Structure 1
Amino acid sequence: MQTQQTNNWLHLGISSWTTMASLNLVTLLCFGLVVLVNSYPSFNRHENQWTKLILTHHWPKTLCTMEEVSCQTADKFNYWTIHGLWPDKGQSCNRSWHFNVNDIKDLLPEMENWWPDVLHPGTNEFWKHEWEKHGTCAAVAESLNSENKYFAKALDLYKKVDLDSILKKFNIVPSSKYYSLDNIRSVIGSFYKVKPKIQCVSPSQGEAVQTLGQIEICFDKEYQLVDCVEYEEELPNSIDDLFVFESAQQSEFSICDESMPIYYPPAHEEY
């Protein structure tokens, strides 16, 4: 009888220990899941249902002129460089997902060539700004869901578009002569079979010529070319978007004026 009671108590003890161990395991698993979920980048999906990506090119010489500074690197970058890859909706979608230059170490040689900061060379602040403002919103797409993927895709699209070569092919080159908006738009539209968005810097008071500054080429979520919409309300396109220009309110990009000639400044022109 005593042996049977001992066995019963032993059985109950083992059962209790097993139950407690199981509960502890479940608790640990739940805790780990919570930590994993909380550590994964979160998005404001309501504000980030984008349908279009805007590959924005800017002309380095124009940027330097707008800032009224001498850009020592402007002569080096005598080709169109990347301003950014922007979803058509959403900005700064995850403020906790900070830029880490180590995540794009393999891309840095190309970044420095095709996506330079012409005003503040040698820093990462431009890329940091573009990632945190636009990249974190683009990242809801699986093909863009990391810092490396985002910048790599922008570089890939930039090289495929090859805007600089296409403009040169059709004799749209930096020059002292002027171009019409229709001329530039027709060249881009006829080659890519989509409508670009072409932006200029408005003339200073007393002048009658606008300066070519920025060209946008648009893609859908499958990275097929689509028309860009020429509305100022679609996405902030002022020079304020660039972190380096946030204190410069005197000039901004706007849709080029159909009725006004366009100046496409040579990179080596003296100020």
Structure 2
Amino acid sequence: MLLCLLALAGASTLLCAAAESENKPFCSWTCAVFTLQWPGAFCQSLDDTSLCKLLPDVNSWLIHGLWPQKIQQCCRCWNMFASDVQDIRGPLEEKWPSLLTSRSSLRFWKDEWEKHGACAGCVEGLNSPLAYFSTCLKLRQRFDLQKALEDAGVTPSCQRPYKLAEVQKALLPLAGGDKMEIQCIKDHQEREVWFQTKIQLSRNMSLGCPHDSGGGGSSGGRHHDGKDGGSSSGGHPCPDGEAFYYVPIDHQHPLRPCG
């Protein structure tokens, strides 16, 4: 109860101290994963594809979340309210909207905060909902996948497949290529389709995480986007040496952008 009251008051420093005093390492994480998702393939990743929506202004890579890894203990009762992110509501709607008909963007943000943000909240720069979401927006600006890909001639296509080495080379200016996990899903034609990108970060948000062998932790595998049945497959690493597709965003036919 003490932990929750302190969290609700925004006293992250006291929260960490209280947790440590109970021998529960609240702030034990050293690595995080910043995940971006590609709307062109998102709908095909859903268990219930009827829940998918792609609004007309969705035309670029979107934030999925910032996930501290290998969390041992955190308070799950540090609530978030709409007023916490009111000052950045516009940018969040643009870069981090919900793509589910059954869930508002605010509900999406609350879910991400309660599951991941509150666990990161003892770190300076992430120690409130506003700080956490503001940092995510800065990371999205920093890791502009679309520009890096376009500059390298990697563009969405239903006819042109890509190899992992091509994509990694295109992203070399952003992350050295090897600090990102390129994830795929299989579409209705059983083709590998680029679905999302996971970027490894250290606790101070610098690129890479030497303390982690990569990928696992609290957010490995299947990631649930909400409590409303709209769960999404976490995808799998795009196969090395095998072609995969970077499909276009089709607002009219989001489930089958390539027919």
Q: TM-score, normalised by structure 2?
A: 0.78
Q: Is the 8 A contact 2:185 2:192 kept in 1?
A: yes
Q: Is the 8 A contact 2:157 2:246 kept in 1?
A: yes
Q: How many residues were matched structurally? A: 234
Could you tell which deviates more after superposition, 151-160 or 119-128? 119-128
1:131 to partner: Cα distance: 0.1
Match of 2:61 in 1: 80
Cα distance change, pair 165–222 in 1 and its aligned pair in 2 (3 A): same
Q: Aligned to 2:33, which of 48, 54, 76?
A: 54
Alignment map for 1:98-177 (pairs within 5 Å): 98-120=79-101, 122-176=104-158, 177=160
- Provide the rounded CA distance (Å) in 1 between the counterparts of 2:39 and 2:126: 26
Q: Is the 8 A contact 1:92 1:136 kept in 2?
A: no
- Provide the rounded CA distance (Å) in 2 between the counterparts of 1:138 and 1:130: 11
Instruction: Determine helix, strand or coil for the equivalent of 1:262.
Output: coil
- Provide the rounded CA distance (Å) in 2 between the counterparts of 1:91 and 1:115: 27
1:240 aligns with 2:223: yes
Larger Rg: 1
- Provide the rounded CA distance (Å) in 1 between the counterparts of 2:113 and 2:72: 10
Question: Higher helix proportion, which one?
Answer: 1
Cα distance change, pair 107–246 in 1 and its aligned pair in 2 (3 A): same
Q: Is the 8 A contact 2:80 2:129 kept in 1?
A: yes
1:203 to partner: Cα distance: 5.3
Match of 2:74 in 1: 93
Q: Is the 8 A contact 2:156 2:246 kept in 1?
A: yes
Match of 1:226 in 2: 208
Q: Deviations over 1:184-211 (max 9, x none)?
A: 122213543252111111355x73x211
- Provide the rounded CA distance (Å) in 1 between the counterparts of 2:209 and 2:115: 23
- Provide the rounded CA distance (Å) in 2 between the counterparts of 1:221 and 1:179: 32
1:69 aligns with 2:50: yes
User: Which structure's relative contact order is higher, taking Cα pairs within 8 Å and 6+ residues apart?
Assistant: 2
- Provide the rounded CA distance (Å) in 1 between the counterparts of 2:105 and 2:234: 23
Q: Aligned to 2:182, which of 198, 212, 216?
A: 198
Q: Is the 8 A contact 1:219 1:226 kept in 2?
A: yes
Could you tell which deviates more after superposition, 184-193 or 230-239? 230-239
- Provide the rounded CA distance (Å) in 2 between the counterparts of 1:226 and 1:107: 27
Identity %: 28
Segments of 4+ moved more than 4 angstroms: 227-232, 244-249
Match of 2:12 in 1: none
Instruction: Determine helix, strand or coil for the equivalent of 1:243.
Output: coil
Structure 2 gaps of 5+ residues are: 8-14
Q: Is the 8 A contact 2:38 2:195 kept in 1?
A: yes
Match of 1:253 in 2: 235
Match of 1:186 in 2: 169
1:217 aligns with 2:182: no
Q: TM-score, normalised by structure 1?
A: 0.75
- Provide the rounded CA distance (Å) in 1 between the counterparts of 2:241 and 2:213: 16
